[in-house]
Structures are given as C-alpha cells and as structure tokens.
Amino acid sequence: MKRIRVMIIEPANVVRAGIEALINGSGECDVVATYRTLQEAESEADMAGGVDVVIVSTSFGRQVDSSEMFAGIPVVGLQTTLSEADALRPFVAVVSMFSTTEEILRTLGEAHDAPVQHNYAESHDLSERERDVLVLVAKGYTNKEIAQELFISPHTVISHRKNIVHKTGIRSVAGLTVYAVLNKLIESEML
C-alpha cells in the first residue's frame, strides 16, 4: 500500500514537530515538508505530485479558503485553540492536538480517499433533530447511544449526521464539538 505524503503548515514549532513525529512514526504516512506559515509554503513548496494531504493550522482557515495552492489537494485542519465554525469550513476534516495517533491517521486516510470538494449546503440551518444529534455527538455519544437517547433508529442517526456534515462542511467530531459550542448549542462546561 502506498504511503500518504503529508505537508504540515503550523506556526508552533513544538506542535509541528510533534505531529510530524507521530505521522512519520506510524509507517502509514510520510511528512514530506513542514512550514510555519502559508506564505512560506506558497513560496517554497512544489505541490505538483509531491503531496497527497496537507495539514494546516485552523488559525489559517480564511487564508486556506482563498489560496489556489491547495487546488485538488485535501486540506485537514489542525486545531490547537477554539476556532469559529466559519474558520473550519475550508477543511475536509479537522483533527486537534488532543487527537490520538490513530484518529489522526484515520482522518488523513479518509481525507486522502475522499473526493476534494467543499460541499456544505447553502443553508447552514440545522433542523431541531439535527441539533439534538449534534449535541449528543459533542458529548461523545456513539450512534447507538444517540439512537437510544432520542428513541430513533441508528440508521436515522447516521442520516442526521450526514445532513449535519453536509450543512456545516465539518466532518470530525472535534470540529462538530467546536461548532456546537460556538453556536451555543452546548456549554463547554458540559463536555
């Protein structure tokens, strides 16, 4: 199986080095380049055929959205602080510095295999039931637990979760949790 080639763009040296060490030590991915800023990456990086997935600090979210450098390459957000939901939309997925190595690798693999598109719906309004599901996702419930709590089938939970991802453009549990907190659907103390 071909190893996924990863570029990391993160301003914090310790975080950048830590993520690089985790990824390189996995045997599944190789970090081929690291940069402190988007500008540094744009001026030095040769993206043609050299990178499969890019990990970028979510603090650069708005810049990622307007950058042409990532055309056709999935961009995963690396969250080290609380971010506004709008800042997470340019990313196909989001991992946090608290994510396990397995979660990071799974997210990179999914981002690599998924088609690159930013397909969140025109209307970002979640239905009442989607908000209920989102709150329970943010609290760490599994699909089965959500189904039991809301008296619906697990298949319905999965359908609601797909709608939530489609409407928000956020795929990761960490990103959805931040979205729920920022949109006052849940208090951060409840997590």
Tally of domains within the chain: 2
pLDDT 10s digit of each residue in the chain, 191 long? Answer: 578 999 999 999 999 999 999 999 988 899 999 999 988 888 876 654 588 899 999 888 777 766 777 777 889 999 888 776 666 778 888 898 888 999 999 999 888 887 655 444 434 588 899 999 999 999 999 999 999 999 999 888 888 888 888 788 788 888 888 888 888 888 877 76
Residue 141 lies in a domain: yes
Residue 120 lies in a domain: no
**pTM for the complete prediction?**
0.59
Dihedral angle, C-alpha 41, 104, 178, 52, nearest 10 °: 40
Q: What is the CA radius of gyration of the chain?
A: 17
Query: Which tokens belong to 122?
Result: 């025109």
From 113, 146, 173, give the residue that closes a domain.
113
Residue 135 lies in a domain: yes
Q: Going edge to edge, which strands form the sheet with 53-57? A: 29-35, 4-9, 53-57, 75-79, 93-96
Q: What is the pLDDT of residue 184?
A: 85
Q: What is the pLDDT of residues 44-94, one digit of tens each?
A: 766 545 888 999 998 887 777 667 777 778 899 998 887 766 667 788 888
From 113, 146, 174, give the residue that closes a domain.
113
Q: Are residues 105 and 178 in the same domain?
A: no
Residue 103 lies in a domain: yes
CATH number of the structural domain spanning residue 96 = 3.40.50.2300
Q: Exposed/middle/buried for 66, CB within 10 Å: 0-12, 13-18, 19+?
A: exposed
Print the domain residue range for 142: 128-190
CATH number of the structural domain spanning residue 168 = 1.10.10.10
Q: What is the pLDDT of residue 47?
A: 56
Q: Are residues 26 and 78 in the same domain?
A: yes
